[in-house]
Copies of this chain bind each other. A is one copy, B any other.
Amino acid sequence: MGDLLRIAIVGYGEIACRQHVPAIAKTSGVALVAVVDPVKTPPGLPHFRDLQELLRDGPEIDAVALCTPPQVRHAQAAAALASGKHVLLEKPPGTTLSELTPLIAAAQEAGRTLFATWHSRYAAAVGPARQLLAGRTINKVTIIWKEDVRVWHPGQAWIFEVGGFGVFDPGINALSILTEILPRAVFIRSAALDFPSNREAPIAAEIELSDAGGLPIHAEFDFRQTGSPSWDILCETEAGPVTLSKGGRQLRDGGRLVVDAPDEEYPALYRRFVALTSEGKSDVDLAPLRLVADSFMLGRRRLVEAFED
């Protein structure tokens, strides 16, 4: 058991219960040994109210998976690294880009892994999409990322608070896929952000992006979708449309279905974390967060109807 990575989940909310717990159970080389949450008590595991209590009184751990809202994650990551723990950050890795700089330095100094995860990049069709597109000339990209916030983020009040990103919380998943499948770096050309009159974060956004070759990329994010979500990226290529849908789990090349796989993102993500810790490496790609920051900086703000949950 010497090589077993003993991990604690911090923030036992929606994403922890639904994804992290089963993924850890499926992954060899890692074991869940404690949970930190101010309120929720999971069955059958040592439980602590906050990270300090865990670090002081808890079982020995090697790593923490931070599944808390982004607004509190930076202080927790800094404390965990200072205690010599590896750190897995749920997405987005922080509320700012600049807060990551000292964390990267701290991980390097401590010889520990800092892993800024982008779970959507581990969806089954993302790798195949990248390979397919590498051999094509792409003429246009359209991203439609729309979901019902009431269905997909129940009780997550933080999402509309300052630092909660609003519709960019799911939208950054699309951007994490986009920056993985395209051959060249992309940048924001313009953006329009719709802020509900009673909220601090946008409920919808329209963004125009491009790359050094002038590729037009149009993205629409919307939390006001009802019915089925749309998590689609359509790439129009010389050889016909390449469509990545279901959040990166399904790939079509023209009419041909290339990949159609179930959700297996988090187990792949934990295999990567185990590998990173054993190699003593970090993985912090800030490109998706940079695109969000740019959208806020360059974005035109539009006030829209109040949103009541």
Contact = CB atoms under 8 A, between A and B. Distances in A.
Interface stretch (A41-49, A125-133, A184-192, A236-244): A184-192
A301 B298 contact: no
B162 A98 contact: no
Size class of A's contact patch? 35 or more
A305 interface: no
Interface in A265-309: 287, 290-294, 296-301
Contact of A98 (B95, B163, B185, B190): B185
Contacts of A106: 212
Interface string A54-79: 00000000000000000000100010
A102 interface: yes
A195 interface: yes
Contact of A297 (B102, B187, B195, B296): B296
Contacts of A212: 78, 102, 105-106
A265 to B, nearest CB: 25
Among A102, A185, A187, A287, the one with the most B-chain Cβ atoms within 10 Å of its Cβ is: A187
A297 B185 contact: no
A53 interface: no
A105 B183 CA distance: 14
Given A105-B212, A195-B301, A98 B186 contact: yes
A74 B187 CA distance: 11
Count identical subunits in the complex: 2
7 contacts: A78-B212, A98-B187, A98-B290, A105-B185, A195-B301, A290-B293, A297-B297
Given A78-B212, A105-B212, A212-B105, A99 B187 contact: yes
A190 B96 CA distance: 10
A211 interface: yes
A148 interface: no
Given A200-B300, A293-B297, 6 more contacts: A78-B212, A98-B185, A99-B188, A102-B212, A293-B296, A296-B297
A294 B98 contact: yes
